[in-house]
Structure 1
Amino acid sequence: MQVLLFTHSVMRWLVLGSLGWSFYKAYVAYTNNKPFTKTLNKLRHWTATVAHIQLMIGIILYSQSQTVKALFAGLSGNGHITDPVFFGVIHITLMLLAVVLVTLGSAMAKRKSSDSEKSKTMYIWFGVALLVIFVAIPWPFSPLAQRPYIRPL
């Protein structure tokens, strides 16, 4: 379980990096009316792939998590946002939403006819997904739930 937690923690940075870079490159391509290159298309594809891998690891962790099991056992606290509530409801819901946004944005961008439409679609959908992910991550400074930037093994 520790290896999966570590992997999920490290993959967070790959998801954020690829999504942030994809968002930036699509925005630059759109605002500067540049072509939707093969490189940008590969970036679109691999960003969605990394997000899906992270989701699969997260679902495995969710199904095995003692914190989530505590929520379903009724040990979630006194109405405040506790770790069981955050991870059992908020984190999983927002992350699923974010991966759906990445998936839809990637699929829609791939199917657009013009380069400008592809770039615009990618930067809008990926940008919204990035915002959702930033809210859903248990940052060390978060008032909802705190975890280190990288979990130790």
Structure 2
Amino acid sequence: MYPYLLFFHSIFRWLVLISLFYAVSRALIGWLGKRPFSKSDNTIRHVTATISHVQLSIGYVLYFESPIVAYFRSNYSEAVKHFDLKFFGLIHIALMTVAIFVITIGSSLARRQISDTEKFKRMTVYFAVALLIILMAIPWPFSPLANRPYYRSF
């Protein structure tokens, strides 16, 4: 099961990033252009939040199935001395959880705003902050924190 979880978590990473980039750019254009908040803008807001929640759910299951995290939890005092283990056992999941909380709050606040400008503004700010957190917490191949390939296969 672990290789499948890793594969789907790797694939959904790209869906999260693409949807967030698209939602932020669309919201920024709407905010600065004083455009009306359309039904498709609302759908983009909702789909982006949903994709993010699915990714977080896969990530939580993966977290509790991961041998790296199992070692981290059972040998905490030794594992925190190794940054790679600390990254996956603590930092990655904490930052990703915070990022999804930010997306959820931003999506909820955007939905509740009365003016279209405020809807776009909330979406832009909250989704952009979440995107930055996510970009920092992904173990990119070039990352000095912890590196993994762009795509994981079975």
| TM-score between both structures, scaled by the size of structure 2 | 0.95
**Aligned position for 1:18:** 19
Q: How does 1:50-69 map to 2 (within 5 A)?
A: 50-69=51-70
**Aligned position for 2:148:** 147
Identity %: 48
User: Equivalents in 2 of 1:139, 1:128: separation in Å?
Assistant: 19
Measure how far apart 1:152 and its partner are.
Answer: 1.4
User: Equivalents in 2 of 1:106, 1:143: separation in Å?
Assistant: 32
User: Equivalents in 2 of 1:64, 1:128: separation in Å?
Assistant: 29
**Aligned position for 1:72:** 73
**Aligned position for 1:42:** 43
| TM-score between both structures, scaled by the size of structure 1 | 0.96
User: Equivalents in 1 of 2:9, 2:66: separation in Å?
Assistant: 13
**Aligned position for 1:96:** 97
Runs of 4+ in 1 over 4 A off after TM superposition: none
User: Equivalents in 1 of 2:129, 2:41: separation in Å?
Assistant: 18
User: Equivalents in 2 of 1:21, 1:60: separation in Å?
Assistant: 27
User: Equivalents in 2 of 1:68, 1:129: separation in Å?
Assistant: 24
User: Equivalents in 1 of 2:98, 2:137: separation in Å?
Assistant: 10
Q: Residue by residue, what CA displacement relative to the aligned partner does 1:107-136 show, whole Å, maximum 9, x if unpaired?
A: 000000000000000000000000000000
User: Equivalents in 1 of 2:99, 2:21: separation in Å?
Assistant: 13
Measure how far apart 1:142 and its partner are.
Answer: 0.5
Of residues 67, 81, 84, the one that matches 2:83 is 81
User: Equivalents in 1 of 2:149, 2:82: separation in Å?
Assistant: 21
Q: What SS does structure 2 have at the residue aligned with 1:70?
A: helix
Query: Cα RMSD (Å) of the superposition?
Result: 0.9
Q: Which structure carries more helix by proportion?
A: 2
- Structure 1 gap segments, 5+ residues each: none
- Structure 2 gap segments, 5+ residues each: none
Q: Residue by residue, what CA displacement relative to the aligned partner does 1:2-55 show, whole Å, maximum 9, x if unpaired?
A: 111001001000000001100000000000100111001000000000000000
**Aligned position for 2:123:** 122
**Equivalent residues, number:** 151
Measure how far apart 1:80 and its partner are.
Answer: 4.4
